[in-house]
Amino acid sequence: MRVAAPDPREVRDASLDELARLGLPLPPEQFPLVWEPGDEIELRPIVEIEARIAVLHLILARCFGMSPQAAMGWLLGSHLVEVVTPPEWQFVMGSKGDHRSFVLHHDALFSLTWVLGLSKQLDPTLPVDEELVQRLPQLAAGETFAEWRSRIRVEPQHPADAAALLDLHYCLDWAYLETERAGRRLPGVIDANAIGQRRWALEWAVVLRGPYHDEPPGWEEVDLST
């Protein structure tokens, strides 16, 4: 469902109010808006988000002991091989890459479950919902992607709400990094890495349409440099 984007300045004001409430520094006045007046927004296709959730869950399972053979078997049985990115493939099959960076995807996964309504909150002061694993594919039991999709009940967020949370995490990402650089205390138990992962997922899941937006990026192409 493609809808008109909300007023970007009103959304930004709400994001800045939240940063102030959390006691975080505010970005400079020239800090870019995420979208422009007149843009449109939508979510990626639901099955595409579900597939990304499943692949990230599998990668986390590899981080914590799942064998390459079991991972490959599950991907083949779930017809998800083509969804795995090249860096993910190297890690899944050969344990190549930064193990810690793949573990951090736990928060990106959490963010995507919020987009689909499988998690009810995405509070920047709170860690991942401990019950989340129950709402993910049961890999040890051999539950396939298709079986998992038939078990869960997704209630996707309205695109405008997801876009507003994207803008908040865009600001939070800057504020958390600035707070850590200054050696000050963060408002909750998660750090800038977790916020960055949540932003990564939202940047990927929320599709912005307008004259200044390119086609939606691939998972590995999401730009978090600004």
Average model confidence (pLDDT) across the chain: 96
- Over residues 158-174, the pLDDT tens digits come to 999 999 999 999 999 99
- Over residues 1-34, the pLDDT tens digits come to 899 999 999 999 999 999 999 999 999 999 999 9
Structural tokens at position 145? 């992607």
Instruction: Report the percentage of the chain scoring pLDDT > 70.
Output: 100
pLDDT at 152 over 90: yes
pLDDT for res 54 = 98
d(CA 220, CA 106): 16
pLDDT for res 210 = 97
d(CA 95, CA 89): 9
pLDDT at 225 over 90: no
Contact 220, 195 (CB under 8 A): no
d(CA 91, CA 95): 4
**What would the mean pLDDT of 170-194 be, rounded to a whole number?**
96
d(CA 149, CA 137): 9
pLDDT for res 13 = 98
Contacts 24+ apart (CB under 8 A), 75-82: 77/142, 77/144, 78/54, 78/137, 78/144, 78/145, 78/146, 79/145, 80/51, 80/54, 80/55, 80/145
- Over residues 90-138, the pLDDT tens digits come to 999 998 988 889 999 999 999 999 999 999 889 999 999 888 899 999 9
Contact 124, 172 (CB under 8 A): yes
- Count the alpha carbons within 13 Å of 224 in the hemisphere toward its beta carbon: 21
Question: What SS3 class is residue 4?
Answer: strand
**What would the mean pLDDT of 36-58 be, rounded to a whole number?**
98
pLDDT for res 129 = 85
How much is the pTM?
0.96
Contact 116, 148 (CB under 8 A): no
Contact 163, 203 (CB under 8 A): no
pLDDT for res 98 = 87
